[in-house]
Structure 1
């Protein structure tokens, strides 16, 4: 596995009916695979609209990942950055103004 999947447990956490029921249901709801982020057709990955492990049909829709405009990559990156703890350093006085 390459990239972010190398150490991920995400695939293991998918429900057993992911390929047999959930993906086909998403295709039925959105046969043109309109990306839920940019509104353009041709989504190539099924995305969780809200982060986490909510696999309900309402939370799943198509998104561009391997194909331009790569909406899923940008969304996932932003979610990863947002999940990082933000440490703030104490404000230091400028050495020239001491």
Structure 2
């Protein structure tokens, strides 16, 4: 599910998130903080504030201004990693208790 649908993330944000968000955007001059592999900063305007480390740490040192494209890319990668981890946890729980019928 893309976006906020099916997520409790918005509920876990602090009540003053809008003020924090505005402060971070101002701090970062409304410019995306993501850098390419060569260390060059993205030139797109920042419209979102993102957690650098994906958790509920809302300290300003863990927040960055980010453009829409990079935010979608980063969030998509984090979501895919979480889904993969969940599948692996589920797969580890399954253990065969009998021999495979083709091996009998």
Contact 2:48–2:66, Cα closer than 8 Å, also in 1? yes
TM-superposed CA distance for 1:74, in Å, is: 1.0
Contact 2:32–2:44, Cα closer than 8 Å, also in 1? yes
2:67 to 56, 60, 64: 64
Tell me which protein shows more helix as a share of its residues.
2
Structure 2 unaligned spans of 5+ = 36-40, 93-104
Q: TM-score, normalised by structure 2?
A: 0.66
**Following the alignment from structure 1 to structure 2, what is the Cα–Cα distance between the partners of residues 29 and 4?**
25
Structure 1 unaligned spans of 5+ = 89-98
Matched, 1:37 2:34: yes
Matched, 1:26 2:24: yes
Contact 2:25–2:46, Cα closer than 8 Å, also in 1? no
Q: Secondary structure at the match of 1:72?
A: helix
Aligned-residue CA RMSD in angstroms? 2.1
Contact 2:25–2:49, Cα closer than 8 Å, also in 1? no
Q: TM-score, normalised by structure 1?
A: 0.69
Aligned to 2:72: 73
Number of residue-to-residue matches in the alignment: 81
Q: Secondary structure at the match of 1:47?
A: strand
